[in-house]
Chain A
Amino acid sequence: MIKILYFGRLSDMAGRRTETLALPQGVRNISALRAWLDTAHDLGGALDDPSVKTMVDQSLVHNDMSLNGNEEIGFLPPVGGG
């Protein structure tokens, strides 16, 4: 199972902060997962936006990283504290 974490504005838009699911059929990498989740939650491209970074098991990754279906995946809109 993959655990998805939505942060910042993405959690409001997706209506959840986390979800756990099996890797959808045909989804083998981050890019495909972003597109699949964007459609599934009707996010209008917000998750597919280049400003959103992805972490797999708490490390930043590129969109072409492949998934084995057993990861923690965080979607991070632009960050900033202070």
Chain B
Amino acid sequence: MITIRDTPFKPSKELEAFTQANCDAGAITSFLGQVRSEAGKVNALYLEQYPGVTETGIMDAVAKAKARWTLTDVMVIHRVGTMDVGEPIVLVAIAAKHRRPAFLACDYLMDYLKTQAVFWKRQTGKDGSKWIEPRTEDYQDKKRWEIR
């Protein structure tokens, strides 16, 4: 299930529902990304999407993860709009029979979301607003998944 939403969500509630829906899976991993304060410098984060394109891209990435590992279920929830410090931005959860594919697929999808998912991020703080692009480390992380 892929959800892009412009309203806050409660990760614990979403994870509980995902876990219950996959009670037969032996392993469930998840990653939660939330807005950092950067030591008080950041007040808010704004995320923009390209409606249609963004969701299609995430669907393709999920399909690639499912082709690469044996997974029971995948959940991706991603916020757009304005978020305050501490608010969830993204939640990825993977259900699988065993832990290894669940860990790997979660890591893989987060690397996709950080560097290739069609979102733009603008950080607002006491020094004004600026658009944030992926760091060099994010691109290096994504490269780990290239099949040699």
Closest residue of chain B to A55 (Cβ to Cβ) is B53
Q: Let me know if B53 and A81 touch, CB within 8 A.
A: no
The total of interchain contacts (Cβ-Cβ below 8 angstroms) comes to 63
Q: Which of A7, A8, A79 has the most CB of B within 10 A?
A: A79
Contacts of B48 on A, CB cut-off 8 Å? 7-8, 11
A41 → B minimal CB distance (Å): 17
A binding-site residues for B, Cβ under 8 Å? 5, 7-9, 11-12, 55, 58, 74, 76-82
Is the beta-carbon distance between B114 and A78 smaller than 8 angstroms?
Answer: no
- Going nearest first, the 5 A-B pairs with the smallest beta carbon separation are A81-B119, A8-B120, A80-B134, A9-B131, A82-B114
Q: What B residues does A76 contact at CB under 8 A?
A: 50, 118
A78–B48 Cα distance when bound, in Å, is 12
